[in-house]
Amino acid sequence: MGKLHVIVKKEEIDSEKTEGKIAVVLDVLIATSVITVGLQYGAKQVIPVRDKEEAWLKAREYHTDEILIVGEYQGQAIEGFLMPNPTELKEQAAGKTMILSTTNGTVAISKAARAKELYIASLLNGEAVAEAINDHHKEETVLIICSGSDGTFSLEDFYGAGYMLYHIVQQNEWQLTDVALAALSYYEGKRKESTQVLSASRVGRALYREGYEREVKYAAQCGSYSLIAKFDGNAIRMEEKRYVTNKAEV
């Protein structure tokens, strides 16, 4: 029987303890939603970096017409970078390599990089990733990692973890830790309220104030895309698409 655990913020990731385990990183608002959308709309790959300096170094490896340099810090666009807005980037992603730096999500990916397998999930593609976990890892330990928000708990990621758990436990028997049980219970109580949950969260409210209401609503669409994305230590690429729904068209 496999084991499911939830880590509630990136600061709690123990890189050594991720070795040999399966990890799933969530940053619902907004890094993993941007990654999902970029790959859905034809990006070749997404390269997550920790900060703007690493982003510019990585950009030197490509011609300027091959890349999109995307990033935010503390909710504000980094100078010279595109803001990580899914509804805007989906129009620019095809054929590009996206270099992405965010305050929380890309840092969480870096910290979890020693995992045996590292999946990237959002509400948009979480059901497909849950299916892959059941297909390939039902006897293993799976860490569902909430990136959190600048060292604090984030409601939207906790909801996303519950969403993932809800779909994982439908197919096989799993042992859940107490934190995983709490996330699952929270999601079950708010199952049809993804937009309300994301909008009420601290990060969601901040995005609303900045005029990004559309991005929050887009990221709240559960199960809209079926792609499975994994990080190989250098880049995130789409592993497969199981079916197509095309629901995420806010």
In this structure, the number of other CB atoms found within 10 A of the CB of residue 209 comes to 10
In whole angstroms, how far apart are CA 218 and each of 40, 85, 213, 221?
14, 10, 9, 6
121-135 pLDDT, tens digit each: 999 999 999 999 999
Would you state the pLDDT for residue 171? 87
Give the chain's residues under pLDDT 50: 244-246, 249-250
Structure tokens at 183: 């996330």
Sequence spans of domains, the chain: 2-233
- What is the bridge-based pairing of β-strands 174-176 and 2-7? parallel
CATH superfamily of 2-233: ComB-like (3.90.1560.10)
In this structure, the number of other CB atoms found within 10 A of the CB of residue 151 comes to 10
pTM above 0.85, yes or no: yes
DSSP states of 73-95 as a string? ETTEEPTTSB---HHHHTTT-TT
Would you state the pLDDT for residue 240? 74
Would you state the pLDDT for residue 248? 52
Would you state the pLDDT for residue 244? 44
Q: What is the rounded (10 degree) CA torsion for 35, 36, 39, 40?
A: -150
69-115 pLDDT, tens digit each: 999 999 898 999 999 999 999 999 999 999 999 999 999 999 999 99
